[in-house]
Amino acid sequence: MIKFVNNYLVPTASIGPPLLPGKYKSVNCSILSVNGLFSTFAPMSTRKLYIETYGCQMNVVDSEVVAAILQQHQYQLTEDIDEADLVLVNTCSIRDNAEQRVRARLRDFRKIKKQERPVSIGVIGCMAERLKEKLLEEESIVDLVVGPDAYRDLPALLQEVESGQKGINTILSLKETYGDIRPVRMDRNHVTSFVSIMRGCNNFCAYCVVPGTRGRERSRDPETIVREATDLFSKGYREVTLLGQNVNSYRWKEGGSLLKFEKLLERVADIDPAFRVRFATSHPKDMSDQLLKVIAQYPNLCRSIHLPVQSGSTTVLERMKRRYTREHYMERITAIRKQVPGASISTDIIAGFCGETEEEHQQTLSLMEWAEYDFAYMFKYSERPETHAAEKLEDDVPEAIKRRRLHEIIELQSRLSLKSKQQDVGQTFEVLVEGTSKKSEEQLYGRTSQNKVVVFPKNKLKPGDYTEVTISACTSATLIGS
């Protein structure tokens, strides 16, 4: 079961495109939580594993890797936390709010510890990496703390826990990619999935904890990526999203040459014309014309590009250490519009970063108007420990002003999203069917190549089918067609 709420308030360093509306159930929380769907797995031994995942798509993939590792060590996945022998929480540290929700969830787990049979509770992922031993001291019920690069060590650490000790490994790696591990797929629709192509980040943006929690950048062997994607297609999946903190930085030495992201994208697109390919996330400083040419050449490379701007002000971008200017970013948007006509563009925006003036905020609004984004992740700045901003800059924008600026950004994006959808009315799009609409059993939903959700009559269609849909109406979030 995958859950999320409020498309606007999501992590600062979200690595993916907008989460897929219709594929998830809205609940009262502002971070992504995942419990796998495990009914397809044969019963194993007596140990049961329950996983919850918070944060970005990369964490979803990591949970699937963890499930695969532990499944080989006599753990059977379960959706019922009350029958679990091991409870793992895969965490996000991108905002303090994300960490506080994890702590609240851990408090909920205290009742599990009171059960007659022993239950081990582990915190894995970015929060584990950031806090390390402190987490064991601060959260008494936690038995296990494991960082993103130490998942192979889980079986050994669990043996330590079973012997009455605490288990911890938060050592970051310069080589680990988990490229040889076949993830246990936790999605519900079996139509779309994610494949990680690299780990870590070298950008060190002033506000971001990712380089500290996920380590330095390293790319995965392209053969393992293509093999995993091919396996997905053979099992009926019809769309894959290639994931990386900055996919444009993908590099792999192959013989005497260097294989870059553009060539990897071609290899995955060549698997089959009926296999859609997306990617996330691109960094504006690395968005190349060559990448745009490759997208234009392959119809199954989706016409949807997520290009985080964070701010429309060059001076704010300098403080953020983003390494591009407003003008450079606008030139990249112009190149996308020219080389990939009809592509949708989404973004990330931070309101109220350190020192942001009213004029700088207005520059963000004006860039949004100019770019006419189809979608945006929008949130107010949240200072994170051990980042450049926390150590060198003052978080001096009052909270009330942050909220007001965020509200203005959200209102503007709502208008832009509606305008984008209205322009599609009367047009016909190829839609990949993903599932049944939440509002009616007689309606299906799917997405266009531009990543826009469409609701339409079921007829005889089923998930995984492609169909032509003519758009007759819309809201700011959804296209409606037949």
Look at residue 267 and tell me if it is in a domain: no
Look at residue 268 and tell me if it is in a domain: no
**Distance of alpha carbon 89 from its chain centroid, rounded?**
16
Residues 417 and 434 reside in one and the same domain: no
pLDDT means per 10 residues, the chain with 482 residues, are: 31 37 30 35 67 95 98 94 96 93 95 87 98 96 97 97 96 96 92 97 96 96 98 98 97 92 98 98 96 98 98 98 98 98 98 98 98 97 96 98 98 98 98 95 97 96 97 97 96
* Total domains, the chain: 3
Domain termination residue (choose one: 377, 404, 423):
423
Look at residue 436 and tell me if it is in a domain: yes
Residues 157 and 39 reside in one and the same domain: yes
Q: How far apart are CA 380 and CA 89, in angstroms?
A: 25
Nearest to 302 by CA among 447, 178, 434: 447
Domain termination residue (choose one: 134, 169, 204):
169
Kind of pairing, strands 344-351 and 304-306? parallel
- The CATH number for 15's domain is 3.40.50.12160
Look at residue 118 and tell me if it is in a domain: yes
Look at residue 468 and tell me if it is in a domain: yes
Contact (CB, 8 A) for 448 and 402: no
Check residue 35 and report its DSSP letter.
Answer: -
Contact (CB, 8 A) for 286 and 434: no
Q: Which residue matches tokens 């769309």?
A: 239
Residues 50 and 143 reside in one and the same domain: yes
Residues 348 and 448 reside in one and the same domain: no
Range of the domain at 349: 303-423
Look at residue 289 and tell me if it is in a domain: no
Residues 158 and 57 reside in one and the same domain: yes
Residues 375 and 464 reside in one and the same domain: no
Nearest to 219 by CA among 256, 260, 255: 260
Residues 368 and 467 reside in one and the same domain: no
- The CATH number for 434's domain is 2.40.50
Look at residue 126 and tell me if it is in a domain: yes
What residues form DSSP beta bridges with 194?
A: 241
Residues 413 and 432 reside in one and the same domain: no
What residues form DSSP beta bridges with 326?
A: none
Nearest to 92 by CA among 53, 61, 131: 53
Q: Which residue matches tokens 């016409």?
A: 303
Residues 351 and 468 reside in one and the same domain: no
Domain termination residue (choose one: 405, 423, 441):
423
Contact (CB, 8 A) for 199 and 242: no
Residues 359 and 467 reside in one and the same domain: no
- The CATH number for 356's domain is 3.30.750.200
Residues 36 and 155 reside in one and the same domain: yes
Output the pLDDT for position 30.
29
Q: How far apart are CA 242 and CA 194, in angstroms?
A: 6
Nearest to 417 by CA among 452, 450, 460, 373: 373
Contact (CB, 8 A) for 263 and 252: no
Q: How far apart are CA 472 and CA 142, in angstroms?
A: 53
Look at residue 207 and tell me if it is in a domain: no
Instruction: State how far the alpha carbon of 128 is from the alpha carbons of 4, 101, 205, 409, in Å.
Output: 22, 14, 21, 33
Residues 307 and 447 reside in one and the same domain: no
